[in-house]
Structure 1
Amino acid sequence: MTDIRQIERMTPYEFEIRMTAHQLKRLDEQEAIHLQAWANRKVKAEKNIGTEKKPKIVPVFTKFEDFFDKEKLEKEILGIQTQEVIQPPKQTKLLKLMKKANS
């Protein structure tokens, strides 16, 4: 608020409500700061692969989409269900032989 007249006309109850709202807004800002710090820590995560003799450290997330899949989260929020494409099973030698015998 910047208008001094509005401030002067404010009741103690209204002042208390505005102060509570301001404190809650600050709390939300602090949460966002801490969430950013957590995300920074998470994105720098590394994992060990390989053997003890030849350890290799690689990042856990190699693509941004691995870290934050916005499209998936959007669909979740909007209630859109993704349908996984069912692929036919790979033809084995036995299945190929059976098809050949039947033709």
Structure 2
Amino acid sequence: MSRDLSWAKHMTLDEYYLRLEAYALQQEDKRRAIHEQAWANQVVKNTKGEGDNVKPLFQTFDQFYDSEKARNEIRSTFEQNYKPVENKPAVRKKTAGELRIARMIKYEEMMKNKKG
């Protein structure tokens, strides 16, 4: 790679910021890759529970590292009218009653399948 930076003299300010944003997003991609490796290591090592009830501390990668949030922060830094994009659907946790009903329905289906 040439060390000649004469091309930078002819760059507009908009082009400079676009390149700066692209570089920041490339760095975020590298951080995500590092976090993916750390998450894979964590799945193997960090657990909660004991005996037969051992589970990973984080069930999904998104619980471990929010790459979307980091990308939104970078883009909002460089783009004035940037609106963060939420690709994740809002997840509502089921109440204890809803969980019991769902289990009962599943149990009844299992019993029907066993008999018939």
**TM-score range for the pair, normalised by the shorter chain length:** 0.3 to 0.5
Q: Which has the higher contact order (CA 8 A, sep 6+)?
A: 2
What TM-score, normalized to structure 1? 0.41
What TM-score, normalized to structure 2? 0.37
| Structure with greater strand percent | 1
Which structure would you say has the larger Rg?
1
